[in-house]
Structure 1
Amino acid sequence: MPGMSRVEGPDGRTDRALLSGDVPVTDPSWKERYLTGVHDLSGDCIKVVDHSGRLQSMNLRGQQAMQVEDFRACQGADWLSFWEGEAREAMLDAFALATAGTPAQFSGYCPTMLGEPRWWDVILAPLPDPAAPDHAGPFDLLVVSRDVTDRVQAQQALERMNATLADEVQRQTEALRQEKQLLIQTNEELENITYAMSHDLLTPVRHLLSFARLARQTHEAGKRDRYLGIIETSALNLSGMIDGVMQFSRAGRTSLRLQPVDLNDLHAQVQRDLQPTAPGVHWTAGPLPTVQGDAQALRTVLTILCGNALKYTRDQPSPRVHVSASHDPHARTWRVDVQDNGAGFDPEYGHKLFRLFQRLHHQNEFEGTGTGLALVRRVITRQGGSVQATGRRGEGAVFSFTLPDHAG
């Protein structure tokens, strides 16, 4: 066998004959040479360590596995110091057990002398001193370390693959959940549009037809002017509702350009555009986050919510609007609140607010087409968020939306 030395018996016969048992072993050094040969041929790293942890010997294949260039340089070194990190505690427990006389084992990471990563299964067995009375300890140790690096790295690769697969399954599941939610919402919105076409949009049309007929039939100039005013108002209302439906439809089809959006900058732009329409409002804002979203769509959302807040506070003696944000680390979301001290709404009907053409105030009290909040809901839902409204009649309202915190 390559690498084996030829061992001869005392009468010149080879070790093959000796090993076969054909020749009686009479040379007392033969056993030592035989054990040394087996010791050096083993693929495991076999060492003798004294009871204080000092390295006494290491077989040749073990020196190769540990990349020891000159064993004399590390003979007598503290073998215990080779083990660091997570494996050290298990090694110390096994070492204590073995030096007390009980074989022990552990597994752990220990790099080679050149720093290459290695993982080992290690067995420690006590070596009693025949000269010691009753073979009393502490014992020197025979330490056999088997290189299991390939197995450990394969297991780590499998765990990484499983983790990646689990993350992908979770991502796909969340994507399917969002698609399902969006489909449910889209079906609901289609039902709302169908209902609106057959009811809400027909109301101003009936007004147009009815008052046009009355205007044609009357001979009084005052009545005719009033009827024409109603016709004009109905036409404007109908036009606004149609524009709202068109915006609502586009919001569901337009591709989103997701990018980091500083809501502080966006809110400042909205405030600059809207505040001249309500100069008496005390408008404040807290620090707002940077989120991942479509800047133009989010500007539309803030414009609608802040515009509503201004509209519903206009009859208050000291109108106030406050925009703020809060972070939920568990849900990994940012929540933005637009709070006002305006007319509020009956919370019993709050669930209708984000539906198309649903309004909780009469047109004579506050103008509007009932499409803005539905548009807000569609925009925010498409960006992975949600909407909410709380309030009480005469006590103001808070309109909120959430967006995922991709940085958290």
Structure 2
Amino acid sequence: MTHTKPGSPAAPNGEERASPPTAEAPTSPAEPAPGFLQQVHDLSADCIKVVDAQGRLKSMNRRGQEAMQVDDLSLCLGSDWRLFWQGEAEQAMHSAFEAARAGRPAQFRGFCPTLKGEARWWDVTIAPLDTETGDLIVMSRDITAQMEAQRQLAELNTHLEQEVQRRTRALGQERRQLQQLNEDLQALTYSISHDLRTPVRHVQSFLRLANVHRADATRQQRYLEIAERSAGQLASMIDSVLQLTRIGRVELRRQLVDLNAVLRSVRVELQAEQGDRTVLWDAPDLPTVYGDGALLQVALKVMCANALKFTRPVAEPRIELRARRLDGAWQLEVRDNGVGFEPTYTHKLFGLFRRLHRPDDFEGLGAGLAVLRRIAQRHGGEVGAHGTVGGGATFTLTLPDPEEEL
């Protein structure tokens, strides 16, 4: 008698039925062999290191050794990897290291030279590797070429920005020069239309009168003298116009100019105008400024001659020169205790052939201050004036100081 195993179905003919074959459980893919991982590890272009929880170096791949110029890895194993980072990168490295120890991957960039002192920049990623041992994996990518390209680009951008600023300043200066030339042209046009016509008419009128009164020798002589003075005035006015336009065209020869030496030269030139008068000159040490020496001598002569002329009626004439530093400029002041002027008409002082006093009281054409203003404009500076009737006057010349701008 045939017995079946419990739970085994019997065959129809009473024989035992064979159990169907059971399906085998699916197998998982084979894990890479350690030798394969080591090969990938060594072939990586990045510098790959394993450090323990205290930052001590445990391993470094072959390409990493080449990048860090390590000749003998055994000498580096066990050293604190964190000590390689100094300066600005040190704090970023510590922050990333602590994040990785806490289980979070972190990244930073920093400068770290090779063992042979070659400068290198690295993009570093730190991540947990083994939670049981606390080991970390450190992957450093050499970005020195990228950082150098960024540095060169930054230098190029800085150079371009400086060049743009330089050209902007040059264009601004050219625009100001064109404006000044236009102002000069307008002043010249006005002078030809109005100021220069006056002495021309005088010459014509008095020559005509002299011709009419030929029989009266005395009267004829007086008319000819008036015509001669008018012709002389016309010549002086033409010279003033030419001087003004010449200052606008001459090329500036900028250099360091000692104003003390300029003042000494100017006082020698003005000795004849001072005459026998005793004039008190109060001029403490003046600065050295940057500008065209010849034009600055003309400017200082105009300011001092103006002070000498308008202190003529004063019993004890006094002329003071002061210089003070402003924001990016030197300001030179010439102050006198002369007759002064009405402040309401200050705006007319620096116009060509503009006068605030009668010719019978003070000689001159009213061209000196226009020349002073033009010289200041050529230097990128400005002029100013203030005064009161009977209370003296102060004229200022402001010149940019390149050293202050730097």
| TM bucket normalised to smaller | 0.7 to 0.9
Q: Tell me if structure 2 keeps the 8 A contact 1:189–1:356.
A: no
Alignment length, in residue pairs?
375
Within the candidate set 341, 346, 349, 1:353 is matched to 349
Q: Tell me if structure 1 keeps the 8 A contact 2:47–2:63.
A: yes
CA 1:78–1:198 in structure 2 vs 1: closer, same or farther (change >3 Å)?
same
Within the candidate set 255, 258, 264, 2:254 is matched to 258
- Give the deviation of 1:354 after TM superposition: 2.3
Of stretches 166-175 and 61-70 in structure 1, the one that deviates more from structure 2 is 61-70
Question: What is the root-mean-square deviation in Å for CA atoms of aligned residues?
Answer: 2.9
1:61 aligns with 2:63: yes
1:373 aligns with 2:369: yes
- Give the deviation of 1:123 after TM superposition: 1.0
Output aligned runs, 1:299-314, within 5 Å.
Answer: 299-314=297-312
- 2:95 and 2:140 map into 1 onto residues whose CA distance is 16
- 2:43 and 2:376 map into 1 onto residues whose CA distance is 70
- Give the deviation of 1:153 after TM superposition: 1.5
CA 1:52–1:189 in structure 2 vs 1: closer, same or farther (change >3 Å)?
same
Q: Tell me if structure 2 keeps the 8 A contact 1:44–1:147.
A: yes
- Give the deviation of 1:85 after TM superposition: 2.7
CA 1:226–1:51 in structure 2 vs 1: closer, same or farther (change >3 Å)?
farther
CA 1:90–1:274 in structure 2 vs 1: closer, same or farther (change >3 Å)?
farther
TM-score by length of 2: 0.82
Deviations along 1:97-132, one digit per CA (max 9) or x if unpaired, are 22333221111222222333222111111334426x
Partner of 1:43: 45
Partner of 1:243: 239
Output aligned runs, 1:6-405, within 5 Å.
Answer: 31-130=33-132, 139-213=134-208, 217=213, 230-275=226-271, 277-278=273-274, 279-329=277-327, 332-405=328-401
Partner of 1:4: none
- 1:328 and 1:345 map into 2 onto residues whose CA distance is 26
Runs of at least 5 residues in structure 1 that lack an aligned partner in the other structure: 1-20, 132-138
- Give the deviation of 1:303 after TM superposition: 1.2
CA 1:274–1:94 in structure 2 vs 1: closer, same or farther (change >3 Å)?
farther
Runs of at least 5 residues in structure 2 that lack an aligned partner in the other structure: 1-26
Identity of aligned residues (%): 51
- Give the deviation of 1:264 after TM superposition: 2.9
- Give the deviation of 1:146 after TM superposition: 1.0
CA 1:186–1:74 in structure 2 vs 1: closer, same or farther (change >3 Å)?
same
- Give the deviation of 1:253 after TM superposition: 2.3
- Give the deviation of 1:190 after TM superposition: 0.9
Of stretches 234-243 and 171-180 in structure 1, the one that deviates more from structure 2 is 234-243
Q: Amino acid of the residue matched to residue 237 of structure 1?
A: Q
Partner of 2:14: none
TM-score by length of 1: 0.81
Of stretches 212-221 and 264-273 in structure 1, the one that deviates more from structure 2 is 212-221
Larger Cα-atom Rg? 2
- 1:267 and 1:83 map into 2 onto residues whose CA distance is 62
- 1:159 and 1:328 map into 2 onto residues whose CA distance is 34
- Give the deviation of 1:244 after TM superposition: 0.8
